[in-house]
Structure 1
Amino acid sequence: MATITDVSKRAGVSRSTVSRVVAGNGYVSEANRKAIEAAIAELGYRPNTLAQALRSNRSNVIGAVFVDVGTPYFANMTYGVQRAIRPAGKSLMVSSGFADQDEEARAIIELIDRSCDGLILYLEHPMRNDVAEMLRRADVPVVSIGHKPSPVSRGQVMLDNYGGARAAMRHLLERDHRQIVYLSGQAEFGDTIARRDGMIAALAEYGMDMSDIHVVAGEFHQRFGYAATLELLDEDRAFTAICAGDDDIAGGVLLALRERGVRVPDDISVIGFDDAFHAQHMWPPLTTVRQCMDALGEAAGNLLLTLLAEPETDRLKTVVNTELVVRSSVAAPAMHREGA
């Protein structure tokens, strides 16, 4: 395996000059830089990252804890983080917390033990006190994603769940829907709470409140949307629209309605939240609220880089906007169309 000494001999420069090029620090003439880069390519030299970390007291690794990295939602968030930190020479180590406080704690401790330079956290539960104290002692900068930052976070990235849910409910109300079912995700999740607040605001504009619609809480999963919709149909509940907590739930709703011969949007309108990849490929194409998960991840990555470069900076906060995407799954209730 080639060493830095081999590179310096091949390029005809000192070891310190090679080190400056590899580290990206200090002045090196253009001629020497080209000679060193050519020698590195010819010899297949790779710097010893562990040795560099020991010298600089930086591992150049960013740690992230998300709910479940196996889902497209958090995979896109991971992509956004990586897009932000790669140009800065940082690598990414990701773990899942599975919306469980102890699993979240375990994931954070593992990343602390691996000497990550900073952490990006998307947690569904308050951070355990012992873990918060570990982070304080380790002096690791933390950026939180979501409405409830950890007690040690110096940066926060929020999605405008409130505005997105308000726009979705308003879209239904503007089309004269009043018999509305809301199939939410887990009621205790921060996103769910913020979306509920947005819906409350939209309903208030029409002299209504949450008691005027039917709310069923479940999981952010297709099986919940499917089972809940079948139950609504079996109990002969009167409704003209379903507002789904996310596009996975909406997928289950559409499947159940199709199985029962209920036409969308002729008989029932359906609106989702996320604008996941499959939303535009559902039938009919799903009206939904677009949230760019990669933008959330990228914003979190950029905040963390700022904290690493400027340790004394004040607390940072970024809000990522949402957007209503109108497709074909929402129409006015049949009674209003027939009366027009």
Structure 2
Amino acid sequence: MSKARTSIVDIARAAGVSKSTVSLVLQGSPLVNEKTREKVSALINDLGYVYNRGAANLRQSKSKIIGIVVNDLTNSFFAELAVGVDMVVQSAGYVQFLAHSGESVDRQRQVIASMRENGIAGLILSPARGTEASDVKPLADSGIPVVVVVRNLPGAKVSTLLSDNYGGAKSAVRHLINLGHRRIAFMGGFADTAVSSDRVRGYRDALMEAGIALNQNFVIHSAPSRAGGATAAERMMFFDERPTAALCFNDAVAFGVCDGLRSNDIEPGKGFAVIGFDDVIEAKTAVPALTTVSVDPQGMGQRAAQLLMKQINAGQVDQETLVTSVRLVVRQSCGAPVRQTEELA
């Protein structure tokens, strides 16, 4: 159930200023001094006031807008996720507003605030690094359903949709071990995200399970991008004893690792085994075709949208946590024989 909407009068009373002063702050007027502006702005955020552009009416069952905010739209995983969301919300008569935070918490706050002003019926969020539960609290408090995807947000009373990062990483490393590799690296990803931690943990546990000692140098963190993958591969070239295979944080990193290998006259899938994580559309058509842990980005977007629509239709905010299964898709980049390029459960 939605709480009563905070009014300008409430903000003015709490700040000890007039209604007109609050209005000037909302309009960005230079007539208000900076100290007053900061005080009023802080109260607007704390009390969850939404500037009235018809947003209050839109939110109450009339809104047909779904917000989706992702942390890295340059990664095709998130483009595919957004396509999956759109397939569901469009068929339900809603329109999707898509925004890119670029890993900036400030930018994320701005776009979410703008979406609230325009009356979103619900929000799907892949949080920027450093996002806290308090960043989505105003939405939950005002009765707007939120589904957090890909990255967990501990303490936030919202629904969460994650993939089995630990199990997927463990399965991939086991496959490399079965192919005969003993010097296996983990490449890419920011060390301070839960997704990276879970995938590294799966990598380490698979090595431990096989009795292979972990070489800390073989965990090479970098930006979770193609450029980050190339950087990780270049760093590996300076090792006295190089790995012979790598599990990459995601497919973008894997493509970059392949670039870095080629620039050093090493052919992926022949001189070095590469496994990605996600299974974006380009993975199948890459040369060599990329072995990867399939998360099914479009399917994940569809499930996130279904979870959100369920709450919108019920008229209440529920808290559910779902972890989707993943599967290893074996292709040529890991050096597997052609007969092993079938999808594995």
TM-score (norm 1): 0.75
Give the equivalent residue in structure 1 for 2:122.
Answer: 118
1:166 matches 2:170 = yes
**Per the alignment, in what secondary structure is the counterpart of residue 241 of structure 2?**
coil
Pairing of 1:231-310 with structure 2 (within 5 A): 231-310=235-314
CA-to-partner distance for each residue in 1:209-256, whole Å, 9 max, x for gaps? 544671110011222222332332244433211222222222222223
Separation in 2, partners of 1:140, 1:67: 20
1:140 corresponds, among 110, 129, 144, to: 144
| Partner deviation per Cα, 1:62-87 (whole Å, 9 max, x = no partner) | 11111133432111111111111122
Counterpart residue number, 1:86: 90
Q: TM-score, normalised by structure 2?
A: 0.74
2:184 equivalent among 176, 180, 184 = 180
Matching of residue 104 in structure 1 with residue 135 in structure 2: no
Unaligned runs of 5+ in 2: 1-53, 337-345
Q: CA deviation at 1:329?
A: 2.0
Of 296-305 and 92-101, more deviation after overlay is shown by 92-101
Whole-angstrom distance in 2 between the partners of 1:252 and 1:55: 43
Asked if structure 2 preserves the Cα contact closer than 8 Å seen for 1:299 and 1:318, the reply is no
Q: Which has the larger radius of gyration?
A: 1
Q: Distance in 2 between matches of 1:175 and 1:143?
A: 39
Asked if residue 193 in structure 1 is aligned to residue 224 in structure 2, the reply is no
Q: Does 1:324 pair with 2:328?
A: yes
Amino acid at match of 2:283: A
Tell me how large the CA RMSD over aligned residues is: 2.7
- Per-residue deviation, 1:57: 4.4
Letter in 2 for 1:279: A
In structure 2, the residue matched to 1:18 is none
Q: Report the number of matched residues.
A: 283
Distance 1:124 1:172 in 2: 32
Q: 2:80 is matched with which residue? A: 76
The amino acid that maps onto 1:284 is P
Q: Deviations over 1:136-185 (max 9, x none)?
A: 44221111113423644432111111221111111111122111121121
Gaps of 5+ in 1: 1-49, 333-340
Q: CA deviation at 1:128?
A: 5.0
> Secondary structure at the residue paired with 2:277?
coil
The residue type equivalent to 1:238 in the other structure is R
Which residue type is aligned with residue 94 of structure 2? K
Give the Cα separation in 2 of the matches to 1:64 and 1:199. 31
3-state SS, counterpart of residue 333 of structure 2: coil
Q: Secondary structure at the match of 1:168?
A: helix
Q: 1:137 and 1:313, CA in 2 relative to 1: closer, same or farther beyond 3 A?
A: closer
Tell me the distance in 2 between the aligned counterparts of 1:252 and 1:261.
Answer: 14
AA of the residue aligned to 1:316: E
Report what 1:95 is aligned to: 99
